[in-house]
Amino acid sequence: MNYHNSIQAFEKARQLIPGGVNSPVRAFKSVQADPIFIKKAKGARIWDIDDNEYLDFVASWGPLILGHAHDEIVEAVKEAATLGTSYGAPTLIETEMAELITAMVPSVQKVRMVNSGTEATMSALRLARGFTGRDLVVKFAGCYHGHADSFLIKAGSGAITLGLPDSPGVTKAAAQNTLTAEFNNLESVKKLFEERGHDIAAVILEPVAGNMGVVLPEPGFLKGLRELTEQYGSLLIFDEVITGFRLAPGGAQERFGIEPDLTTLGKIIGGGLPVGAYGGKAEIMNQLAPEGPVYQAGTLSGNPLAMAAGKVMLKTLKDNPKIYAGLERKATNLEAGLSANLDKKGIPGVINRIGSMMTLFFTQEKEVKSFDQAMKSDTARYASYFKKSLESGIYLAPSQFECLFVSDAHTDDDIQCIIAASEKALKSL
């Protein structure tokens, strides 16, 4: 493939934008490649500015469950745009969105719209602190909750990919209020609660970790956290920015049958437009201004274009449960194909999958159930695999510690196509 235009574009972008990108992982740094610049996308396909075509398994890092430029979403956004792009005043569609979200995610009785996942988690944490009158938060090493100061402590996603889990610029005071535990290790959380439980406002986690690669919760882990937080009067926050509406209409909490106090939601709601939301028990949400004293606001929150896209997205998922069956079937076939390829080529690896999200870890480990195990992965091998896949027209996340997403737009043929490309890529390792 020829990447001439992308290489030139990156050179220019680097002179004007830090690292040439507006979000770090996009720069392909950890896979030692130059990023491709995207021109357009439709369905399961994406094209770069050199006119190379790729089957896309990044899906804008998760939100595009229905694929790119979904006809109905595009129509809804166009129609909304003709009526004005922002009013900073209430609209009917915001209540419709709240109705949809509360119907699909029963633990969410009231919901507030924001503009990103970062805003959702940052605001949910402030609310948890305001509600409990406590300062501390417990997070898990390798989980990522956006880039607010409180969460850039042993953070996952681009932060681990680039070796920057604790960012300079986060004050000691902020860092001191964040305690970290080990994912899937209930004892590590119990220990923190025994020491400081009555000062802990909340435990926040991705109920299925996606930002250290996919790591599923072990049986009893989520239930244990639910019991522990209840015992100490702390709140349990599920960050479902990736898992919400993806693993089931009601997200991971529906799939695992555990009700958090607060839930953060993100990019999926906007079908690719900048959106986030947080919600939960009415008693807690009523603490937010103007009803209560905890302040949080946003000029563009509930933006009409984002709400128009979101309404189509959520209604489509709610009214078509067969979408989830299709995702499951395609993702199961993909997992089986990738696994057979590893066996055939004698390459050690572990595939973690739930529903339509999965990660192939290049590792000698027999299983990946913890952050430490995830970190033992061979990132150099992933980088080679990534580059070979890209050359075969398969666009994967440019990091070992991310997810591969299957969308409704992928066909069974697309799945066969990535399995064949993966065999070729593995052969070259």
How is residue 418 written in tokens?
A: 């990535």
Q: d(Cα 287, Cα 293) in Å, to the nearest integer? A: 6
Shorter beta-carbon distance to ligand PMP: residue 261 or 414: 261
Asked if 241 interacts with ligand PMP (CB under 6 A), we say: yes
Cis peptide before 290 (omega within 30 of 0): yes
Tell which positions 374-393 bind ligand PMP, by CB under 6 A: none
User: Least distance from C-beta 147 to ligand PMP, angstroms?
Assistant: 7
User: What is the per-residue binding string for ligand PMP in 27-66, x denoting contact by CB under 6 A?
Assistant: ----------------------------------x-----
Binding window for ligand PMP (CB under 6 A); candidates: 7-15, 112-120, 159-167, 389-397? 112-120
Q: How many CB atoms lie within 10 A of CB 47?
A: 16
User: Least distance from C-beta 119 to ligand PMP, angstroms?
Assistant: 7
Residue ranges of E strands in 99-199: 110-114, 136-140, 178-181
Shorter beta-carbon distance to ligand PMP: residue 61 or 324: 61
Of 199, 197, 215, the closest CA to residue 141 belongs to 215
Shorter beta-carbon distance to ligand PMP: residue 68 or 139: 139
Q: Are 388 and 397 in contact (CB under 8 A)?
A: no
User: What is the per-residue binding string for ligand PMP in 117-156, x denoting contact by CB under 6 A?
Assistant: xx--x----------------------xxx----------
Asked if 408 interacts with ligand PMP (CB under 6 A), we say: no
Active-site residue, selected from the candidate residues 267, 311, 330, 369 = 267
Active-site residue, selected from the candidate residues 54, 144, 382, 395 = 144
Catalytic annotation on 144? yes
Find the DSSP H helices in 273-358: 282-285, 304-319, 322-345
Q: Are 42 and 69 in contact (CB under 8 A)?
A: yes
Catalytic annotation on 78? no
Would you give the distance in Å from CA 285 to the centre of its chain? 23
Shorter beta-carbon distance to ligand PMP: residue 240 or 408: 240
Residue matched to tokens 């025994």: 194
Among 20, 24, 35, 266, binds ligand PMP (CB under 6 A): 266
Query: End-to-end CA distance of the chain, in Å?
Result: 19
**213 residue type, one letter:** G
Query: Which residue has the closest beta carbon to ligand PMP?
Result: 117
Asked if 280 interacts with ligand PMP (CB under 6 A), we say: no
Catalytic annotation on 149? no
User: Least distance from C-beta 212 to ligand PMP, angstroms?
Assistant: 11
Number of residues engaging ligand PMP in binding (CB under 6 A): 18
DSSP 8-state secondary structure symbol assigned to residue 211: B
Residue matched to tokens 């100061």: 149
Shorter beta-carbon distance to ligand PMP: residue 118 or 229: 118
Q: Are 398 and 25 in contact (CB under 8 A)?
A: yes
Q: Are 244 and 278 in contact (CB under 8 A)?
A: no
Q: d(Cα 261, Cα 240) in Å, to the nearest integer? A: 13
Asked if 211 interacts with ligand PMP (CB under 6 A), we say: yes
Q: Return the active site residues.
A: 144, 239, 267
- Which residues contact ligand PMP by CB under 6 A? 61, 116-118, 121, 144-146, 157, 206, 210-211, 239, 241-242, 266-267, 276
